[in-house]
């Protein structure tokens, strides 16, 4: 199972997640989220991990200028809520965020099922299963995941990866290292 620890605001949390076995770290930019950081801080966090840990820039922006600044950070992927049209260009992978009622996009490298678009609201089991069944690209599950329920979610839905932010935090953007460790262990034990 692939694991992304998202909403990271501190380099030490990124290093901890990587050392515990996370496959990817997510940093929020150009968003009204309490976890949003400036590009300079995102660069610092991205540089805190090694070359085998994917870096994901998560954004709610609808600004082309903001998007250019994100691309300049050279993340492995951009997790995006706005329906930007990307021209064919070498660069980061595109992960589109969808919720119940959203169409399955065909202009991305993966989709993330997130009912609350980043707010930690529990995913809809039926929608998540149907998305995994119908999607032609990898499906990432997010929303309401925590060490206590991630194993069941993996078993019942069968996503490509799982993504957690609030389920492993002390406060928004500050990771609880014991919860991060427990989350990753729960995923790996499946």
What string of DSSP letters covers the chain?
-EEEE----SHHHHHHHHHHT-SEEEEEESSSSTTEE-HHHHHHHHHTS-TTSEEEEEE----HHHHHHHHHT--SEEEESS-PPPPS-SS-EEEEEE-TTPPPPSSSSEEEE-TTSSS-PPPPHHHHHHHHHH-SS-EEEESS--TTTHHHHHHHH--SEEEESGGGEEETTEE-HHHHHHHHHHHHH-
Which tens digits make up the pLDDT trace of 136-152? 999 999 999 999 999 99
The CATH number of residue 56's host domain is 3.20.20.70
Among candidates 78, 73, 63, which has minimal Cα distance to 38? 73
- pLDDT higher than threshold 80 for residue 120: no
State which residues form the domain around 130: 2-189
Report, as residue numbers or ranges, the catalytic residues: 6, 114
Q: Which of 183, 133, 122 is nearest to 158 (CA)?
A: 133
Q: What is the pLDDT of residues 38-95, one digit of tens each?
A: 999 999 999 999 999 999 999 999 999 999 999 999 999 999 987 777 765 558 999 9
The reported pLDDT for the residue numbered 109 is 94
pTM (whole model) above 0.85: yes
What average pLDDT is seen over the chain? 93
Q: Is 130 exposed, middle or buried (0-12, 13-18, 19+ CB in 10 A)?
A: middle
Provide the domain count of the chain. 1
Task: Give percent of the chain with pLDDT exceeding 70.
Answer: 95
């Amino acid at each position: 199972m692939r694991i992304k620890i998202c909403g990271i605001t501190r380099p030490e949390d990124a290093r901890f997640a990587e050392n515990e076995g996370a496959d990817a770290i997510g940093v929020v930019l150009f968003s009204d989220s309490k976890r949003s950081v400036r590009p300079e801080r995102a660069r610092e966090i991205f540089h805190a991990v090694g070359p085998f840990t994917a870096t994901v820039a998560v954004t709610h922006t609808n600004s082309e200028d903001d998007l250019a600044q994100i691309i300049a950070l050279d993340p492995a992927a951009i997790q995006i809520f706005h329906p930007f049209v990307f021209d064919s260009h070498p660069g980061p992978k595109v992960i589109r965020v969808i919720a119940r009622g959203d169409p399955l996009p065909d202009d991305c490298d993966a989709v993330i099922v997130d009912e609350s678009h980043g707010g930690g609201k529990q995913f809809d089991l039926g929608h998540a299963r149907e998305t995994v069944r119908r999607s032609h690209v990898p499906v990432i599950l997010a929303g309401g995941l925590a060490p206590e329920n991630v194993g069941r979610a993996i078993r019942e839905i069968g996503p490509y990866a799982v993504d957690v932010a609030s389920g492993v935090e002390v406060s928004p953007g500050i990771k609880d290292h014991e919860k991060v460790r427990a989350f990753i262990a729960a995923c790996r034990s499946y």
